[in-house]
Amino acid sequence: MPEGDTIFRAARTLDRALQGRTVLRFESVFPHLTRVDHDSPVRGRSVESATARGKHVLIAFSGGLVLRTHMRMKGSWHLYRPGERWQRPGSDMRIVIGTDAFEAVAFSVPVAEFIRSDTLPRNPTLQELGPDLLATDFDPAEAVSRIHARGDMEIADALLDQHALAGIGNVFKSETLFLARVNPFRRVADLPQSAVIEAVDIATKLLRANATGALTGITTYSGLRGLRSGADPAERRWVYGRAGKPCRRCGTLIAMRKQGPFARSTYWCERCQPFDAAGP
């Protein structure tokens, strides 16, 4: 699943390409979108903005209409010049927003809905999101409080809970906890507040660095010289994707285990993140 930094960059790219342009073409395979388009055509409206909220992309059109999409595991937005050949098959197309300069295509996006802008603050899905780590008004104290409220959860699962804080995915979960020296399987209730505060602070810094960085993919480790965007993604990280390889700090082999109700992969160093330690 794309993480918060990826969604942020996608929304920023869409915004730069589409903002202020008039929609000349709108298509979708979703009947609930085409039904709205039939009654209140998207064609002829201008694109006011494209923004990210957690893992959601919000594209606002003139006339008070907003398109919300969530990419889940395999969805993505692409930008093309008019007439340019798509890099994905047409069968993967879910939404097309065409202007005179660019064509935005959503591929394999499973979740999409139109929302009236005046009802956006009351939208159940968005209203339930926790503080967004990439938002300018991010409130770390609120995020820490929400994590502490999930005392029976293991800390790695709590970080993934988008109702606690929005934006962290599976990669940042493991990387954050390694850098905070917190064992991912500790219950939140068993951790001191200082460990949770440290984890939230590290996650915020990682996401923001990756949201504005030049490299594609997630980078948390930069100890290798000549790191390039085409390098093995695992070589840009401390623990994620490095099971069986030596820890960059102590040399212990990195461990991996499935965790949580969705059996997400968790990577950690058993020496740097012992279960009987609570973090910093």
Range list for CATH 1.10.8.50 in the chain: 140-268
Range list for CATH 3.20.190.10 in the chain: 4-124
Distance (Å, rounded) from C-alpha 93 to C-alpha 71?
13
Q: Which of 3, 48, 103, 198 is catalytic?
A: 3
Distance (Å, rounded) from C-alpha 215 to C-alpha 217?
6
**pTM reported for the whole predicted model:** 0.81
pLDDT at residue number 222: 60
Residues 6+ apart with CB under 8 A from 169: 1, 2, 3, 4, 55, 160
The 3-state DSSP class for residue 260 equals coil
The 3-state DSSP class for residue 231 equals coil
Q: Which of 48, 55, 154, 184 is catalytic?
A: 55
Q: Mention the CATH class of domain 140-268.
A: mainly alpha
- Beta-carbon count within 10 A of 94 CB: 20
Q: Is 3 a residue of the active site?
A: yes
pLDDT at residue number 226: 44
Q: Which residues of the chain have pLDDT under 70?
A: 1-4, 213-234, 277-280
Q: Is 74 a residue of the active site?
A: no
pLDDT at residue number 46: 97
Instruction: Name the residue among 124, 173, 127 with its Cα closest to residue 147.
Output: 173
CATH number of 4-124: 3.20.190.10
Instruction: Name the residue among 261, 274, 123, 141 with its Cα closest to residue 204.
Output: 141
pLDDT at residue number 219: 66
Distance (Å, rounded) from C-alpha 193 to C-alpha 58?
34
Q: Is 246 a residue of the active site?
A: no
